[in-house]
Amino acid sequence: MKVYRDVKLADPFLRPYWRHERVVKMLDTVPPERCKRHDDIWIRDYKTFLYQWKKSEDNRDKLLYDNPGLYFAYILFDRMYIEPELRLIIEARLLAGESYEAIAEGCKTIPETIQWYERLFFNVYDFLDHYDWVLKHVLLPASDRFVAEEGDDEDDEDDFQVPRSTAVVDPHLDMSLKFFAYYGGPVVCDVMISGFRRDRRVASPEGLEDYFNDHFMNQIMMRSAQAAGRFEINKYNVMELFATHSRIIEIQKTVKADDERHSNIDQHIGALLNELHFDAGKSSKKLYDDTAIGIYDEGASEVDPDELLLLGAGIKPKSLNDAPGLSFSSRKEPEKNAKSK
């Protein structure tokens, strides 16, 4: 069992943005509440930063050069409704377990930006092994937010609504991106964000067809997985779902039977190939010296495959009775007038 030095980190209801909440609560009082002994360095520095940020716009340039990592992290948080894509990408990569340095490299920023963002607004790095906590406080809220944004509540007509795409195939979907990143890891996260694989490059025109075919197949699989995680099940489509599930089970059983059959064939062929010796050049001559195959190989006659198999089994074909006596000098020249006849 993991033991935390700070007892509040063991709170099962702790939310990922608990440090941000703590600072906002302190600054909401007049005068602002002082930091307590249990408030860590992240809370203390963020309180000073946020107080100066809200005090005057003239202070903000100074804040940038005093602590650029914290400055850029707050900009990411502050623009979450205007430009949410980068924030969602960072959160997904944090859930996938990528390092601060790797995420910063991809986002063209400094590692301190990612670290400050994670510490203040999306504190999951220390809790990734607590999968039930991640599900409760990160994944399910992302799913609930998406469903709520799709709904049409007449009571909220005058409320400000953040425009958000409701397309199933939106690659920056908060719900699907977080789920796949956490359970699939960095490779799956990378593909779900862009739809492309960075490790697949086309080296020549001949590889174009395979590249586009593979890309098309990967896109279909990715978008199908996104859609499968959020389509509604009701009394009108539940029977179709049962039929689809039954068909999948049937296909899996068929594929499994084929795999077992092929594996048995593969084993027999492999055993047969292991018994065959393939040699060429001097090693072949040495291996077959003083054997029937070696004698015929030195002669002028060529042994056909059937005769070779018999010789290998220790049987001398009748058709080779005169073959050892043949030599290149004993061959008769074809008659000159053979074609005219």
Task: Give pLDDT, residue 162.
Answer: 39
CB atoms within 10 A of CB 38: 9
DSSP calls for 53-87: HHH-GGGHHHHHHH-HHHHHHHHHHHTTTTSHHHH
pLDDT tens digits along 51-100:
999 888 888 888 999 999 999 999 999 988 888 889 999 999 999 999 99
Mean pLDDT of the chain: 78
Q: Is 119 exposed, middle or buried (0-12, 13-18, 19+ CB in 10 A)?
A: buried
Could you tell me the two tokens for 329? 């000098």
Share of the chain above pLDDT 90, in %: 30
Residue 157: pLDDT band with limits 50, 70, 90: very low
Q: With CA atoms as reference, report the closest residue to 301 among 322, 318, 332.
A: 322
Which of 242-263 are b and which e, b meaning 16 or more Cβ less than 10 Å from the residue's Cβ? Answer: eeeeeeeeeeeeeeeeeeeeee
How far apart, in Å, do the first and last CA atoms of the chain sit?
100
pLDDT tens digits along 237-257:
778 878 887 888 888 787 777
Domain boundaries, the chain: 7-147+167-198+211-228, 233-276, 282-325
For range 308-333, the mean pLDDT: 62
In this prediction the pTM is: 0.65
DSSP symbol at 206: G
- For residue 66, give every residue at least 6 positions away whose Cβ sits within 8 Å of its Cβ, in sequence order, or none: none
- Helix residue ranges per DSSP H, the chain: 18-27, 41-55, 60-66, 68-78, 84-95, 100-107, 111-120, 131-134, 140-150, 174-184, 186-194, 208-228, 238-275, 282-288, 292-298, 305-312
